[in-house]
Amino acid sequence: MSLSDLPGPVPDPVIARASTAAGASTASALAEPVERVRALWVTGVVLVNLGINAAFFGPLQVLLGQQAAHFDEGGKEAILALVTGCGAAVSLVANPLFGAFSDRTTSRHGRRVPWVLLGAILGAVALVALAGAPNVAAMTALWCAVQAGANGMYAAITAAVPDRVPVAQRGTVGGLAAMGQTVGILLGAVIAAVVAGNFALGYWLCAAALLAGVVLYLFKNDDEPLPPRERKPFKLVPFLKGVGAFIWSFWVSPRKYPDFAWAWLTRLLVSTGNHMVTLYLLFFLSDAVHLKETEGIDPAIGVLVLTGLYALTVIVTSVLGGRLSDRMGKRKPLVIASSVIIAVASLILAFAPTWIGALTGAIVLGIGFGAYLAVDFALITQVLPAALDRGKDLGVINIANSLPQVLAPLIAYPLVTELGGYVSLYVAAAVIGLLGAVFVVKIKKVA
């Protein structure tokens, strides 16, 4: 399917530009969108997602590890853990924080565009500086800056979807955005492979991909300016009271907004299960499948093959699943079905620890997770508490994507080492994923 296949007629939207920003109505900036977005706009969103993920996963998968070994071969594992751990901590804060900032932005260029641009500049500059980082401390600080820039961009571009896309088109757009994310991950892996150990060159190429990804969106964004009178007041006097109110604004009451809370919990559970499946894949292939002995394949090559199969199926099912949910007008049945498919993939790995089993599991996991990414994103946009806080609230949702990076190792390590090995690990991942499917039923506002 191409972008030109987006369903329905696509009329030109009426854009409130700078000259009318001061007098714009709430309907123009904050009301639920009704006009279908154009293919060119969607392409811009897809490319921003692609650039973010290429710039993020190229370093995370390979380049940071190579740089850690450059500083200290014997202590590379500890260095990498320090750098990535600090980066993950920054991402937990940066996403909702920059989302909240974008919600309150009254620039004549719109709410989201300034943060996409600033995030891209910060991320690209930090990546280039990483190429010449003189020590581990500088490497850590610069990777945190990359995380801040990338998460600022992601918070803004994610919020742009409910800002601009009508509900009936969100599954399709969410699927295409997920496709862009997956292609970006593959591009990051390709960059890391092409530079063949030259991590400095790899960082430069990742920075170039990040900047190139935002160009179309910056010029074809259709971002609505927020009238200053629509922005929530933020009192800085007394200072502590103002800051406290701002911090408290990130809390979304489960009692007042139960659908949002259930959506957050289900995203956390499914993402944690998925991270548990992929966390020890290299060790699973070497220690459980015995890939080198049984098939003569290096486990690292095996991981690359499985990742490629997984990515290809994610690309296909994210687009198809998103569009199907739009046509059905329903989200929950597809979210539940995709969560069950993810759990089945985990059980295949648990009870078929062979190369064929691993290949099958990777394909099944990609089928389930691709559809889940697209449809669950569309569902989440329909349970956001307020139009004025879309960026902040989606940033809170994205904590459920980042937190599993911390939770999955804490759960997986004792299971693998003390409580039954890989069978226990993958059965537990399946159970956690199925809980996510169960709790989706609790969401009442969305069919």
What is the domain extent for residue 268? 258-440
Confidence (pLDDT) at 246: 56
Segment 68-87 mean pLDDT: 84
Q: Report the range out of 125-134, 163-172, 269-278 with the highest average pLDDT.
A: 125-134
Same domain for 165 and 278, yes or no, is: no
Q: Does residue 162 belong to any structural domain of this protein? A: yes
Supply the mean pLDDT for the chain: 85
pLDDT confidence tier of residue 248, bands split at 50, 70 and 90: low
Are 178 and 131 found together in one domain? yes
Establish if 178 belongs to a structural domain. Answer: yes
Percent pLDDT > 90 in the chain is 49
Closest CA to 190 of 61, 43, 45, 313: 61
* Residue 241, in any domain of the structure: no
Whether residue 51 has pLDDT greater than 90: yes
pLDDT of residue 352: 95
Does residue 17 carry a pLDDT above 70?
A: no
User: Do 285 and 405 reside in the same domain of the chain?
Assistant: yes
Total structural domains in the chain? Answer: 2
191-241: pLDDT as tens digits: 887 887 788 999 999 999 999 999 999 998 878 788 777 776 544 444 445
Token output for 9: 């007629």
pLDDT at 10 over 60: no
| Helical ranges in 108-257 per DSSP H | 113-130, 136-164, 170-194, 199-219, 239-248
pLDDT value of residue 48 = 97
* Residue with tokens 């701002």, as numbered in its chain: 246
pLDDT at 428: 96
Question: Does residue 242 belong to any structural domain of this protein?
Answer: no
Residue finishing a domain among 203, 225, 247: 225
How far is it, in rounded angstroms, from Cα 244 to Cα 238? Answer: 10
CA–CA gap between residue 177 and residue 377 (Å, rounded): 10
For residues 396 and 307, give the distance between their C-alpha atoms in angstroms, rounded to a whole number. 28
In a domain, 75, yes or no: yes
Same domain for 179 and 273? no
Q: Which two tokens stand for residue 322?
A: 């998103």
Tell me: pLDDT of 134 over 50. yes
Please indicate, yes or no, whether residues 207 and 268 belong to a single structural domain of this protein.
Answer: no
As to burial, measured by CB atoms within 10 angstroms (0-12 exposed, 13-18 middle, 19+ buried), residue 233 is exposed
Which letter does DSSP use for residue 389 in this model?
G
Tell whether the model's pLDDT for residue 4 goes beyond 70: no
Q: Is residue 336 part of a domain?
A: yes
Statement: residue 186 has pLDDT above 90: no
Helices marked H in 30-112 = 39-58, 64-71, 76-103
42 within 8 A of 6, measured Cβ to Cβ: yes
Q: Where residue 343 falls among pLDDT bands split at 50, 70, 90?
A: very high
14: confidence class by pLDDT, cuts 50, 70, 90 = very low
Q: Is the same domain home to 210 and 341? A: no
Residues 192 and 281 in one domain: no
Instruction: Please check whether residues 219 and 293 belong to one and the same domain.
Output: no
Q: Give the span between the Cα atoms of 41 and 132, in whole angstroms.
A: 36
Which residue type does 53 have? N
The reply to whether 198 and 51 lie within a common domain is yes
What's the whole-model pTM score?
0.79
Would the pLDDT of 156 be above 80? yes
Residue 146: closest CA among 69, 91, 65: 91
Comparing 5 with 306, which gets the higher pLDDT?
306
Same domain membership, residue 190 and residue 73: yes
Task: Answer yes or no: is 37 within a domain.
Answer: yes
CATH number at residue 342: 1.20.1250.20
The two three-digit tokens of residue 232, written as one number: 């929530």
pLDDT of 353 above 50:
yes
Looking at residue 114, its pLDDT comes to: 94
Same domain? 298 vs 165:
no
Instruction: Give me the residue label for tokens 């080198």.
Output: 292
- Residues 190 and 338 reside in one and the same domain: no
CB atoms closer than 10 angstroms to residue 116: 28
Q: Is the pLDDT of residue 69 over 90?
A: no
Task: Give mean pLDDT, residues 325-332.
Answer: 92
Asked if residue 413 belongs to a domain, the reply is yes
Flag the least confident range among 17-31, 155-169, 387-401: 17-31
In tens, the pLDDT along 287-320 reads 899 998 898 888 878 877 888 898 899 999 999 9
